[in-house]
Amino acid sequence: MNTKTIIISILAVIVVFGVIIWIAKPSSQDGNANTDLNPENKLVLQESMFDFGTISMKDGKVSHSFAIKNDSAEKVIIKKIYTSCMCTEASLVKNGNRFGPFGMPGHGLVPSINQSINPGEESVIEVVFDPSAHGPSGVGKIQRSITIENSGQPLELQMSAVVTP
């Protein structure tokens, strides 16, 4: 093959991957929607932000559980859960059953889970962050988000940390 053919082939592959990632990106009506700001939400969060503080890569993964509750008279369907980075995973824990973990779109399939939360029912979104996922270049302040697509407005959870070697 000549140089021109190789360059055209490489550009075609880049365009195809770009289109695949763009198509796979989940839609969100309002990525910053949360229960406190949006009366359309039926899920209530005890907290929407958690700071791990200073954590070390050598100490391994850290986790935090976000409590959610259906505060409406109607059943809420959790359709999808996904994260903003491959270093973060999230699972729905409902009645002792774990659904997930789910990660970042474009780095694996983000399947629909379609789990219902009945009126008054509480569940947990468990988030696991791996500070070593980005290697030595992953030190410093980080902020990640977890999106919960449901039959109401999408919810966004936030977590942050300062990562040290």
- Domain ranges for the chain: 29-164
Give Cα 58 distance to the centre of its chain: 24
Structure tokens at 108: 């694996």
Polymer length of the chain = 165
Q: What would the CATH number be for the domain defined by 29-164?
A: 2.60.40.10
From residue 97, give the alpha-carbon distance in Å to each of 23, 108, 110.
31, 22, 19
Beta strands 140-150; 97-102: pairing state:
unpaired
Is the pTM above the cut of 0.75?
Answer: no
Q: What is the largest CA-CA distance in the chain?
A: 66
Tens of pLDDT along the chain (165 residues) come to 688 777 777 766 676 666 566 565 544 433 333 334 444 568 889 899 999 999 999 999 999 999 999 999 999 999 999 999 999 999 999 999 999 999 998 866 678 899 999 999 999 999 999 999 988 888 999 999 999 999 878 999 999 999 999
